[in-house]
């Protein structure tokens, strides 16, 4: 009972200061993120942590909706791999998607998104799965042969060493040449919490 290892948020100001100094967010924005986190973390299981069902509910309004991109995003958030997202994990991962975050950081995290099997490489089938997921996100339905052409062309360009897999070095070079790959790695609304989450703004402040 007395062992609460998952305090849901850093309410003391010095904790907010630490998070603000480690991320592109201001202390005020950390407060807005805390309110968002509280709302998400109590939507299904009221334990002060975000579970995958709660992230699905927030994005799809459905706790059972399956989505490869969401599953990979959840894995990014869940830094300690315990199946739940704490507040510091929440802020830390959202900071990757901030417009002011260096491109190199976004490229590194995008690699983790595409490395579906956690092998340290992106293989052809993983690239294909992510292409299909991204097309689905964009509501694009393309014939199988067109999808295969996209995958084959992309993979052959990225696999500079020609060894049938894309390592981090190859991925970095490919992403530098194809910035559209990082489109999903930036959320413009993170520039202004008060606009993004107006329902959480306290009147008079």
What's the CA gap between 113 and 115, in Å, rounded?
Answer: 6
Superfamily of domain 103-184, CATH level 4: EF-hand (1.10.238.10)
Nearest to 122 by CA among 173, 176, 159: 159
Q: Give pLDDT tens digits for 144-184.
A: 999 999 999 999 999 999 999 999 999 999 999 988 888 88
> For residue 167, what are the β-bridge partners?
none
Q: Are 50 and 90 in contact (CB under 8 A)?
A: yes
What's the CA gap between 18 and 12, in Å, rounded?
Answer: 10
On the question of a common fold for 16-96 and 103-184, the answer reads yes
Q: Are 87 and 8 in contact (CB under 8 A)?
A: yes
Q: Give pLDDT tens digits for 39-98.
A: 999 999 999 999 998 988 877 666 666 666 778 888 989 999 999 999 999 999 999 999
Q: Give pLDDT tens digits for 126-142.
A: 999 888 877 877 778 88
The distance of Cα 16 from the centroid of its chain, to the nearest Å, equals: 21
182: which DSSP letter? G
What does the domain layout of the chain look like in residue ranges?
16-96, 103-184
Record the pTM. 0.77
Superfamily of domain 16-96, CATH level 4: EF-hand (1.10.238.10)
Give per-residue burial for 16-42: e unless 16+ CB within 10 Å, then b: beebbeebbbeeebbbbbbbbbeebbe
Q: Are 51 and 83 in contact (CB under 8 A)?
A: yes
């Amino acid at each position: 009972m007395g062992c609460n290892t998952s305090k849901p948020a850093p309410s003391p100001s010095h904790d907010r200061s630490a998070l603000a100094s480690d991320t592109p967010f201001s202390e005020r924005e950390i407060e807005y993120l805390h309110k968002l986190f509280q709302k998400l973390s109590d939507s299904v299981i009221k334990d002060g942590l975000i579970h995958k069902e709660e992230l699905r509910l927030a994005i799809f309004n459905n706790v059972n909706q399956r989505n490869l991109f969401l599953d990979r995003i959840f894995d990014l958030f869940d830094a300690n791999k315990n199946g739940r997202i704490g507040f510091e994990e929440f802020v830390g991962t959202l900071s990757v998607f901030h417009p002011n975050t260096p491109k190199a950081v976004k490229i590194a995290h995008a690699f983790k998104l595409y490395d579906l099997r956690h092998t340290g490489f992106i293989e052809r089938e993983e690239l294909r799965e992510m292409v299909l997921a991204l097309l689905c996100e964009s509501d694009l339905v393309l014939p199988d042969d067109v999808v295969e052409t996209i995958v084959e062309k992309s993979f052959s360009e990225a696999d500079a060493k020609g060894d049938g897999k894309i390592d981090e070095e190859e991925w970095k070079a490919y992403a530098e040449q194809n910035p559209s790959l990082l489109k999903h790695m930036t959320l413009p609304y993170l520039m202004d919490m008060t606009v993004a989450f107006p329902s959480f703004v306290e009147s008079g402040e």
